[in-house]
Amino acid sequence: MSTLVIPGDEITINPDVPVILGPGMYNDPVTRDILPVNAGILNTSNSKKGQTIYVEYDSKRYTPAVGDLVVGIITGSFADSYRVSLANFSTPVSLSYMAFPNASKKNRPTLVIGDLVYARVCTAEKELEAEVECVDSTNGSDAGFGLLDGGMIIEVTLGFARSLLFNNEFPLLRDLAQHCKFEIAIGVNGKIWIKTDEVKDTIACYRSISDCQGKSYDQFRDIIKKHFQEVTTTVEE
Amino acid sequence: MQELPSKAIPGQILAPQYDLEDSESSSPIIISYVCGPGTKLINYPTGNNKEVSVISSTKLGNVYSFDIDAPSDYEKVDDSRQIKFKKISVGNSSLIRETEGRFESNNILPSEGDVILCRVSRISLQRANVEILAVSTKNIPVDSGVGTNGNGTVAVQGGSGAQTFSVSQASSDVGETFRGIIRSQDVRSTDRDKVVMIDCFKPGDILKAQVISLGDGNNYYLTTARNDLGVVFARANNGAGGLMYATDWLTMTSPLSQVTEKRKCANPF
């Protein structure tokens, strides 16, 4: 069930069932009211554990949350950790040297300032600096984490990045694959890393993905075709 | 016996360290002067390469003298001598008269070993930054001056066993207070390397801590590694909720909202 809410709206909840609050919901510590604090679509669903309530809203400023997969850039290196920026003008996060596969006190990771990394947010307390890791500490896997070599970064809104990553019905990547071969890493902090064999393909992908934001699904194919044609004709001239 | 001057300027000699009191009995009464705030004991050179210990003033102000008990490091040599102890203080505030020469102003500089009250301004993974609000004015033994003699509790110093604190006049709103750091290894005495700072302190908490070092020019270094040190007051939800009370040394709970939060709490008794 989904309805449009704005911050402060009253919502109906079942008082007998435990409530699990997701993004965009706030539990007032004094009055114990449950309120939405972001404007968007309210989603409620029932599961074994109780009722889950969250607000699906789009925004551009990323706030770290535990479990998110993000693309970050290394901006500094210290005695025992890297400083990683997940968004311009946001507080940087820290990536410990020990948060890599096969890490030990003796061997340090080889990343330098300016490198792009794909990482997972492991702690995100309000009062402390957030931490990311390049190995999943919950199940020990390191698939996909680490250095992203070459390629280019596209900055998109957070809702668009979430659709790209989690929505299997989202046609953008399928349509893009008709035109070129590419490698992609999607960060929920609104940064998408893309790498192709040729520069013109990278430029076409960049423009396509940027332009598809806010458009409906059936327009994607035409937008992509237009950009790929543009780069091909420009090169041939 | 010499009369003390009523007012003093810096450097003025007030009294010799020992003096004799006029008395009609055959055994003279010795007066031993002790330095209070605003004074200093110096070796004053007299002629012939000799020196005499005198109390001299370090400030411009009124001179006060109070009778005090024998200091703790005094050993009685023999009973034939009668010794009186007087504390000389120089200063301007009425606090000198009220505290009988012990304290001159409400701004007491923390020194090593003092127990202080502070407010956490920021935490990080390795340390907590605090602002010092008040300095304890009595040296109280580790059990907070509460002796156990089998039946209930008796204050060692007679009267209230509670510590009295001298509250700093410096305003923390404009950042005038002294700052301190509690490193993560100084938070508790057991398992010192595995301290998770977010489970010990949060910004806004009021802590009782002890000064371990005067530190560098920017920060005192403090410790809470004792049962009676740690969080004294805290509000739930970083200040949005109600006041919380300690249930044990690791947990605080708010009776209004029934939330439980982790803190390193001070034992209130």
The 10s digit of each residue's pLDDT in A146-172 is 999 999 999 999 999 999 999 999 999
> Taking CB atoms and an 8 Å cut-off, how many pairs form between chains A and B?
27
**A114's torsion region: left (phi>0), alpha (psi -120 to 50) or beta?**
left
Nearest CA to B19 out of B44, B45, B54, B46 is that of B54
Cβ pair A129:B197 closer than 8 A: no
**Same domain, yes or no: A173 and A217:** yes
Domains along chain B?
7-99 (2.40.50.880), 115-262 (2.40.50.140)
Within-domain flag for A137:
yes
Nearest-angstrom CA–CA distance, B194 and A226: 57
Token look-up 């199940």 returns A139
**Same domain, yes or no: A106 and A182:** no
Nearest-angstrom CA–CA distance, B262 and B251: 5
The pLDDT score that the predictor gives to residue B139 is 44
Within-domain flag for A231:
yes
Residue A44 Cα distances to A4, A47, A55, angstroms = 12, 10, 9
**Same domain, yes or no: A93 and A20:** no
| Model confidence band, residue A222 (pLDDT cutoffs 50, 70, 90) | very high
CATH number, domain containing residue A45: 2.40.50.100
How many domains does chain A fold into? 3
Contacts of A129 in chain B (CB under 8 A): 124-125
**Same domain, yes or no: A127 and A158:** no
| Of residues B28 and A217, more confidently modeled | A217
Which tokens belong to B114? 């003092």
Token look-up 């450097």 returns B11
Residues composing chain B? 269
Supply the pTM of this predicted model. Answer: 0.73
Contacts of A174 (CB under 8 A, 6+ apart): none
Within-domain flag for A64:
no
pLDDT (mean) for B251-256:
89
Q: Which pLDDT tens digit goes with each residue over A184-207?
A: 999 999 999 999 999 999 999 999
Contact present, A132 and A121 (Cβ < 8 Å): yes
B123 in reach of chain A (CB within 8 A): yes
pLDDT (mean) for B28-44:
89
The pLDDT score that the predictor gives to residue B170 is 74
Cβ pair A128:B124 closer than 8 A: yes
pLDDT (mean) for A72-98:
95
DSSP letter, residue B216: S
Q: Which ranges of chain B would DSSP assign to H, the alpha helix?
A: 95-98
Read off the amino acid at residue B172.
S
Token look-up 């309805």 returns A3
What is chain A's alpha carbon radius of gyration, rounded to the nearest angstrom? 20
The pLDDT score that the predictor gives to residue B192 is 92
The pLDDT score that the predictor gives to residue A119 is 96
Nearest to B202 among A30, A127, A129 (CB): A127
Cβ pair B238:A127 closer than 8 A: yes
Which of A69-73, B85-89, B169-173 has maximum average pLDDT?
A69-73
Cβ pair B236:A127 closer than 8 A: no
Q: What are the residues facing A132 on neighbouring strands?
A: A95, A121
> Would you say residue A123 has pLDDT above 70?
yes
Within-domain flag for A61:
no
> Would you say residue A84 has pLDDT above 80?
yes
pLDDT (mean) for A78-82:
92
Contact present, A180 and A196 (Cβ < 8 Å): yes
The pLDDT score that the predictor gives to residue A116 is 97
Nearest CA to A95 out of A68, A125, A135, A56 is that of A135
Nearest-angstrom CA–CA distance, A71 and A80: 21
> Residues of chain A with pLDDT > 70: what percent?
97
Contacts of B259 in chain A (CB under 8 A): 29
Cβ pair B242:A30 closer than 8 A: yes
**Same domain, yes or no: A124 and A159:** no
The pLDDT score that the predictor gives to residue B2 is 75
CATH number, domain containing residue A228: 3.30.1370.10
Nearest-angstrom CA–CA distance, A109 and B13: 68
Nearest-angstrom CA–CA distance, B201 and B203: 7
> Would you say residue B103 has pLDDT above 80?
no
**Same domain, yes or no: A122 and A162:** no
**Same domain, yes or no: A121 and A176:** no
**Same domain, yes or no: A125 and A177:** no
| Residue where a domain terminates, one of A126, A148, A170 | A148
The pLDDT score that the predictor gives to residue B175 is 79
Contact present, B104 and B60 (Cβ < 8 Å): no
The pLDDT score that the predictor gives to residue B237 is 87
The pLDDT score that the predictor gives to residue B111 is 85
The pLDDT score that the predictor gives to residue B187 is 95
**Same domain, yes or no: A18 and A32:** yes
> Residues of chain B with pLDDT > 70: what percent?
84
Could you list the residue range(s) of the whole structural domain that residue A93 is in? 69-148
A221: helix, coil or strand?
Answer: helix
DSSP letter, residue A107: -
CATH number, domain containing residue A91: 2.40.50.140
Which tokens belong to B112? 């090593």
Nearest CA to B18 out of B78, B61, B79, B81 is that of B81
> Would you say residue A230 has pLDDT above 50?
yes
The pLDDT score that the predictor gives to residue B76 is 73
A183 in reach of chain B (CB within 8 A): no
Beta strands in chain B, from DSSP E residues, in sequence order? 7-8, 13-16, 18-21, 29-35, 39-46, 50-57, 61-68, 82-91, 115-123, 127-136, 146-148, 153-155, 165-167, 179-183, 206-213, 220-223, 230-235, 243-248, 251-253, 260-262
> Would you say residue B75 has pLDDT above 70?
yes
pLDDT (mean) for B237-258:
88
The pLDDT score that the predictor gives to residue B81 is 75
Nearest-angstrom CA–CA distance, B239 and B213: 30
Which tokens belong to A6? 């704005």
A162: helix, coil or strand?
Answer: helix
**Same domain, yes or no: A81 and A119:** yes
Given CA atoms B131, B137, B141, B146 in this order, what sign does their dihedral have?
negative
A29 in reach of chain B (CB within 8 A): yes
Nearest to A32 among B125, B240, B257 (CB): B257
pLDDT (mean) for A136-142:
83
Which stretch of DSSP H or E encloses residue A128? none
| Model confidence band, residue B163 (pLDDT cutoffs 50, 70, 90) | low
Which tokens belong to A30? 């004094």
Q: What are the residues facing B153 on neighbouring strands?
A: B148
The pLDDT score that the predictor gives to residue A237 is 59
The pLDDT score that the predictor gives to residue A236 is 63
**Same domain, yes or no: A176 and A140:** no
CA angle, B176 then B89 then B133, to 5°: 20
pLDDT (mean) for A12-38:
89
Report the first-to-last Cα separation within chain B, whole angstroms: 48
| Model confidence band, residue B173 (pLDDT cutoffs 50, 70, 90) | confident
B243 in reach of chain A (CB within 8 A): no
Q: Give B165 to chain A, closest Cα distance, Å.
A: 29
The pLDDT score that the predictor gives to residue A139 is 85
Residue B27: count other Cβ atoms within 10 Å of its Cβ.
9
Which tokens belong to A189? 């902090």
| Model confidence band, residue A96 (pLDDT cutoffs 50, 70, 90) | very high
> Would you say residue B71 has pLDDT above 60?
yes
> Residues of chain B with pLDDT > 90: what percent?
46
pLDDT (mean) for B185-195:
93
| Residue where a domain terminates, one of A89, A122, A148 | A148
Read off the amino acid at residue B4.
L
Nearest-angstrom CA–CA distance, B1 and B252: 60
Nearest-angstrom CA–CA distance, A97 and A213: 36
| Residue where a domain terminates, one of A104, A132, A148 | A148
| Model confidence band, residue B138 (pLDDT cutoffs 50, 70, 90) | low
DSSP A165-205: HH-TT--HHHHHHTT--EEEEEETTTEEEEEESSHHHHHHH
**Same domain, yes or no: A74 and A127:** yes
Task: Report chain B's mean pLDDT, rounded to a whole number.
Answer: 83
Which stretch of DSSP H or E encloses residue A34? strand A34-36
A129 in reach of chain B (CB within 8 A): yes
Cβ pair B236:A32 closer than 8 A: no
Q: Which pLDDT tens digit goes with each residue over B207-223?
A: 999 999 999 989 999 99
Task: Report chain A's mean pLDDT, rounded to a whole number.
Answer: 92
Token look-up 């659709």 returns A163
pLDDT (mean) for B136-146:
49
Mutate to test the interface with A, among B257, B259, B260, B261 (most CBs of A within 10 A): B257
